[in-house]
Structures are given as C-alpha cells and as structure tokens.
Amino acid sequence: MNFVPDLISQLKVIANSTLAIEMKIYMRNRYAFFGVKAPERKAILKEIVNTYKPQLDRPTVIQIVKELYKYPERELHYCAVELTTRFLKKKFHKEDISFIEHLITTHSWWDTVDMIAKHHLGDYLKLFPEETSKVIQNYSNTDHMWLNRSAILFQLDYKEQTNKELLFQLCLKHKDTGEFFINKAIGWALREYGKTNPQAVIAFVSANCLAPLSEREAIRKLQ
C-alpha cells in the first residue's frame, strides 16, 4: 500500500518553505515542517483516506500511524493523530495502551500530546475504567513529563464523569514541579472541571497553594 508515500507526495506539492520556517520557529525549532496549514493538510488526508478506505482495517491504520511517526515533518505526526482519532477512538482494544503511550512519548510536545491525552488516553480509560488506577499511577510516577501531563489532562472531556478525587490528587502531587507545562496542565484541567463543578474547583484552589500560573488558569473563568 502506498498510503504514506502518497500522503507525503501530496503534502510536498503544496509545501511552502516560508511558512515552514515560520511554523518551525513557532514550535521552538523542535520539528521540520512542509509548511502546510491545517485545512489543506486535513483535505489531503481526507482524499488519501477515501482512496485507500477499503484497505484501512485496524492493524493497517496502526501500522500507518507508527510509520508516519518515523518521519521528522510535524504535519505527518498531526496526520497520525487524526487517523487514530478517526479510526480507533471508541474502538480501542485493551492492549492499545502501549500504542497510545508510544504516541505520547514519541516526538512529544503539547500540540500532539494534548490531543492524544484528551481524545485517545481519555477515551481508552472510558472503555476500560478498570485500567485507570494502574495506568494513571504509572504515568504520574514516571519521570517523563509528558506522561505526567497526560495523566493530569486525560479527564478533560469527562465532565460529570470526572473522578474529582483523582484529579485533585494529581494536581497536588505535581503542583511543586516548577515545570511550565505541568503548571499549565493543572490550571487547564481544573478550569475544565470547573465548568461542571465550579464550587469544588474554587474550594480546592482556595485550600491549596498552587503555582500562580495554575491558580490563574484554574479560576479565570470562574470569577
């Protein structure tokens, strides 16, 4: 199957070197870019998917996603995440946690990790709630900052299903790390839960000494 070569070929056709430089700078020079904006990238991916759709069974999609992650261009990582959302969300198997973890820990930065944490890890643990304690404990205890962030953020879409005690426990555990992306995640997770249970979030923030960034992010829409 030529899914990946065809996708790369189509992206190269509309690649913009000036935009690629701007995108690379925005991402702190961490990744190479073709210089293709999101709407155009998604349109190309949709076209390629439609071409190969009869062949896109579950194992093939996973193989394609892993292959895309081997390339340096960031647009291909975005395509990989979008393919995972389209074909695997709500259809994960229990053994897929290793696949999800691979996506989190490979080419890790906020622009992919946050999507994976919210839409893939969060969805997986809704499908297999009995795995939550083990997975989140492992992610929370590791030295890998992006797994820590994912543990804090995985309930972003849970609303009334949010495990409040777990969320607050994770926020307290990581509140003194001094890491920008962790402090930001704590504030974001609390703010999102505050849309469902504002009083609980306000009480939690008032009772605990969070990093200024975390506190500011947590309550900025609750006051």
3-state helix, strand, coil in the chain (%, to 5): 75, 0, 25
* Tens-place pLDDT, residues 48-71: 999 999 999 999 999 999 999 999
Domains along the sequence of the chain with CATH: 1-88 (1.25.10.90)
The model carries a pTM of 0.96
Residue 223 predicted with pLDDT over 70: no
Please state the rounded mean pLDDT for residues 165-182: 98
Amino acid at position 188, single letter: W
* Tens-place pLDDT, residues 101-126: 999 999 999 999 999 999 999 999 99
Backbone phi, then psi, for 177, in 5-degree steps?
A: -70, -30
| pLDDT in the model for residue 167 | 99
| pLDDT in the model for residue 222 | 82
Cβ neighbours, 10 Å, residue 27? 15
Residue 143 predicted with pLDDT over 90: yes
Backbone phi, then psi, for 32, in 5-degree steps?
A: -80, 155
Q: Which of 113, 49, 51, 57 is nearest to 81 (CA)?
A: 113
Please state the rounded mean pLDDT for residues 19-23: 98
| pLDDT in the model for residue 1 | 85
Percent of the chain past pLDDT 90, that is, above it, reads: 98
